[in-house]
Every structure is written in structure tokens, then in C-alpha cells.
Structure 1
Amino acid sequence: MSRDQVVEVAAERPYQVIIGHRLHDRIPGLVGEDARRAAVLHPPTMIEAAERIVHALDVSGIEPVRIDVPDGEAAKTAQVAARCWSVLGTAGFTRSDAIVGLGGGATTDLAGFVAATWLRGVRYVAVPTSLLAMVDAAVGGKTGINTPEGKNLVGAFHEPAGVLCDLDTLTSLPLPELRSGLAEVVKCGFIADPEILSLIEADPAVAPDPAGEVIAELVRRAVQVKAGVVSADLREATSVGTRIGREALNYGHTFGHAIEQHERYRWRHGEAISTGMVFVAELARHAGLIDDALAERHRSILASLQLPTSYRAGTFEALRALMAVDKKSRGTTLRFVVLHGLARPAILAGPAPELLEAAYADIC
């Protein structure tokens, strides 16, 4: 793999995802020559990286404004967003200024939402620092915050001006965080690019190595999958009946988000999505859409990465109630992204209660 690779995203305003090393010097160019100020939103763990970006902006003649936000999902609240808006207002941010989101998926979700809502939309640059954010949250223009009733229920579509995936940041991630990010990579393999699955199956132990060539190739392939899907369906407009567009990226997420809420976000996102993919694979198997081998492949690949593939019994009614307020639901009808075969995603709407209960029993 060359030092830097570029994936094009054909959005309403096309942008690039740059994958490589030591990319902070590219920030001023993405912020734009008209910008007088740029706010850098980051969690406490990213102070050193934030200082590098602040320096790059400063020497380019752009006034940097640092905004510290909480770690993880604690950042994605209306209160934190309001604090960010207050800082922008006090600093006199105009429509020609920009927001930089530096951190994991929660930070980039929040930063994108702040950019989407300030003056009805200002320029935004995503600098994801976790594997999960690189392959999922930072690409595609979906921004949002959580409410007590659910995850990402308040948000907006707001495409970034560019995404910088600096692979050097992965070396500081704990191994469980890398494994969590790989769940979203595996998802891309099942819905669109089976070569991802083959790369992991060849040697699951090297997949989480942040300095290895395999993880670099997995990031590129996963970003390419997401770029292709969102380019074809910018605002989740094409999922009708069993036809599917951008919603394919939510494979495993309906059940996974319910687990996250039920666990009060004590589970990592990728851990919940891993279990959610096994659940929906079993649901598709019981519905006669996939065979036993493909359902079992979900378990074997995810287990080989030491990701969870089961959940405790006795929680189904609570999880079903949480799934009912999922963004993909329509009225009282539950809708799941399923497979009709490898790399053939589709929507299963209103599955019979006995199918849901059978799939749940299989993962307990």
C-alpha cells in the first residue's frame, strides 16, 4: 500500500477520504482559504493531536479555537452541542469559517452536527482517530446526537469537506477498541466486499495490528464500501420494500443499538453491532433467506476477532421496545437489514414475532 491513498465520495459536494500517515498539515487546505477561524472539537485524550492541528492552522493564518468535549457518547448531548454553539457565537464564527472534528465516532458525530446547525451549515473537516470512526462515523455525512429515548435520534445530513484517516493514531488505541472497529469492517464485508472477510479469515490475529499492512487494506476497502453506498444514496432515500440503498450500512444496527441502550452504553459500539449481526443473520436464516453456512460464518469471523456473538436471556421484551424507536422503523413496523446471500443486502419489514424470538433464542 502506498503512503497515502484517496477514496473519492461522489456526494452533492464531492470530497475525498485520505488514508495515510501524518496528515495534520492538510487541515488548512480543507478548511478553505476563505476561513478566518476554525474550531477544533476534541476530547481530552486528543490534546497532543489537537495542538498539532492548532499549530498547522495558526501558521496558515487561520485563527484556531479549541473546544474540549467529553469522551465517547457523553459528548453527544444537546447540552454539549449548546456549549459548542455558545463558543462559536462568542468567537464570532461566520459562514465562511469551519469546524474540525478530531476524535472517535462520537466526536465526529457531534462536530458534524454542530457544523450542520451553526448558521444552517458551515464547512466541516473530519479527522477520525479510531478505527471505528475511520470506517463508519466520519464518512457519509450523517451527524447527530443522542437523547434519553435513543441513539442518534436528532441529527442532520452534512457532508464533510474532507476526511483525514491518519493511521498513526491507531497505534495508541487499546486492543479492545481496535477489535470494536473491526466489527464495522466485517459488516462491510458481508454487505458488499467479501474480500474483507477473506483477508480476516486468512489470519485473524494480524487484522487488529495497527502497524500492519492488513489493517491499512481493511480500512481502504471498508471506506470504499461506504463511499460507494453513500454516493448512490445520499440521504437514505432508496430503501423501499426489499430494495435497499444507504440503509445497508445499518446491517446489525437495529438490534445492536438496542443492546447499547439496554447496557447504558457500557458496551462498545462494535461489540453491540457484532452481536446485532449474528442476531440478524439468524433472523435471515429462520426466514429462509440465507443458509446455515452463511449464518455460521458470521459467528466464526466475529469470534475469531474476539468480538461477542451472544447476549443474555430474559431481555427480549425490553430490547424489542427499544428497537421500536429505531430510525429504520416505520410506525409500529420493525425493519431489519438482512442478507439474501453474501453481499446481497435487503430490507425485511415486519418479521413474524416467532422469527424474532427464534433468532433471539439462538444468540442467548
Structure 2
Amino acid sequence: MQKEIDIKIKDTLALDLQKGVPILLKDGFQETDNLEEGSILKLKNPAGKFLGKGYVGKQNKGIGWLLTKNENEIIDTAFFQKKIAAAIKQRDDFYNSSETTAFRVFNGEGDGIGGLIIDYFDGFYVISWYSEGIYSFKEMILEALEASVSYKGIYEKKRFDTKGQYLEDDDFVKGQRGEFPLIVKENGLNFAIYLNDGAMVGVFLDQRDVRKKIRDVYSKGKTVLNTFSYTGAFSVFAAAGGATKTTSVDLAKRSLGKTTEQFEVNGIDVEKQDIIVMDVFDYFKYAKRKELSFDVVILDPPSFARSKKYTFSSAKDYTNLLKDSIAITEKSGIIVASTNNATFGMKKFKSFVEKAFKESNRKYIIEEEFSLPSDFKTSPLFKEGNYLKVLFIRAK
């Protein structure tokens, strides 16, 4: 069991904890350099009143997360099992679905333990550790998970600095090793998944509702451009929804083979689709030069990206990205604008849209907006956790 340390915090953090804010911000402490990863903190206000127990797990602005407000609650296997079992119960509908066999089981602070993510892929579980601190509880959490579910195998992803000591081969934890690609379902379509291939497994589960909407409502008879396409998941759903043609553009060389595979596991003719390995910003110039235009343009860039020619930051450059898209979007076409940048909210995101259309001399209507799906449970007191913002914009 981890040692518990009594520690007094500043009034600002004390007020946050009383409200139930789950993150322990660094500036709420007098000094944090001597706090060891994984230590349990008994948090007290300046007057010495107990406020809660948290753990040290350094991530970005936070030095850890609140775990409980009960002074007598012990942070042990039983604690983790209670949290995991409650999260699993809330995902009953997903477990009982034959149409979707990949989803999030445990979503960090939304399910009561910041820094811990657990995803499910047709009998296999993938645990993502976001700090050395949460990783120090590995054995307890594994025991808690095993007591709560039956499984084929368990994999892990260390999403903190391992100082070069972490190899991709270490992803497998226990149970049976998967045979890859593992074919999982999402709303009746297939994805080829690789749990043993580094940080990315082949699909971002948080876009499930958006993909379904693209397939069911916006694709039939349309030409669809999917930028920053990764493994082409949006393109697969667009093609399945009756798009006349999809064009997938991504700078990564492996995107060609990965996207081809996703079409093939769904029985979609790859020859009728375009898969282009090119910098997205170069492609916009190419499309404009060739006078290409699309009925649907999908934008799902990383928050930050760097290529040989360009540096992209969604906080600074999304307006220009939208302007490039507007220039090749048909009249009454749809732009699906998405960002996972947690540093700004939907209001700011909409201001990028307004500016881009104003500077492009075109009008628009926001048809629909999306945030995280229901399995990505969030805390209302930690807005950064609800990071996904997606707008379906009709360009007039």
C-alpha cells in the first residue's frame, strides 16, 4: 500500500476540492518537487481541515488527482474494484450490443480516477497509463479489473515519459495474445485493430457518433474529402453511407496501407476510392489549382502537428484551415469541423468558424454539434476532460 502524506494546500485548491474539482493543480501547492509519483496525499486546507485524498501523478498542469473525500477510505485493490465495477455497469448497453464491440470502459476522472483509461476491443482490454503515478498502482488495478470482468487478454499503453525504457513489445500484459488485425464492430461496420502496434490501435473511439451521422445522413450520393485521415475511418463510413467517392488525405506513408485495409475488411471496393499520401495543406493548394470541389469535407486535425513545410496549431491556425476547406466546398456542401484541443471551448471554436466564413465571403449554418459519446464519461467540474468539439457546418 502506498504511503500517505499529510499536506496543506492553498486556499484556491481547497475551494476547488470542496466543489469536487478532480484535478490537483500544481499552483495549489507550496512546493511539489519532493512529491513522489504514486504517493497518496491527505489534502488539508491552510487551517488543517481534511478535504480529500489524492495521488501524485504528474500530467501537464496537474500534479495529481483527487480520489476520495472520505478520510477513512483506503486506496487499495477494493477501492479500484469499486470504481471499475461501477464504470462497467454504466456501459451495460455497450456490452450487450452486437453492432458495436469496441468502446471505452473507464474514462479517467469522469469515472473517478484521473490518469487511468480502459478501452474494450471484443474481449480484449487496453489500459492506458497517463503518469508514473497511476502506473505505480498497476498490480492493484489489474487485480481489480480481473475481479470485475472476464477477458481474452489485457494490453497496456504507457502514455508518459518512460525515458526510452518502454518497448512496443511490452504492450501485452496477460491472458492470451491477440491475433492481429483484430476485427471489431462499430455500428455494424468493421475496423481492423492492432493492440500491439504502439500508441495508436487503428481507430479513435471518441468519434463513433460522428461517423454514424456521416454515414446515415450526409454521405448518400456525395463526394467526400477526409483530411488528416489516419486509417480512413470517416471514409469507410461515408462509403458505406453511399458516397459516390471518398478521398482520404494524410501525410503518413502508412496511411495508404492502413486505409486500404479498413475498406477491405468492410468489402468496399478500394479502387473506387482515392487514398492520397500528401501533406493536407499541399493538397488544398492542389485541389484549388485543379478546380476540385467536394460535397462533404471532413477536418479532424491533431491539436498540434509539424511537417517539413508547415507547423499547425489548432488554437492558432484552425481559421485558416477552415478557409482552405471553404474554398473547395460545393455550395450547400457540408464541412465537418472537429478538434480535440482541450485548451479552448465550443464558443471559441465557433468563433473560428464565423471568422473563416466572413473572410471567405460565404454564409453558413451550423446544422449539428457533437461532443464526446456516452461511454466517454466526463466530470462537469473538469471542462478540459470534455475535449471533443465537432460541428456540421452547411456552407451556403
TM-score normalized by the length of structure 2: 0.28
Higher relative contact order, chain-length normalized (CA < 8 Å, sep 6+) = 1
Q: Which has the larger radius of gyration?
A: 2
With normalisation by structure 1, the TM-score equals 0.30
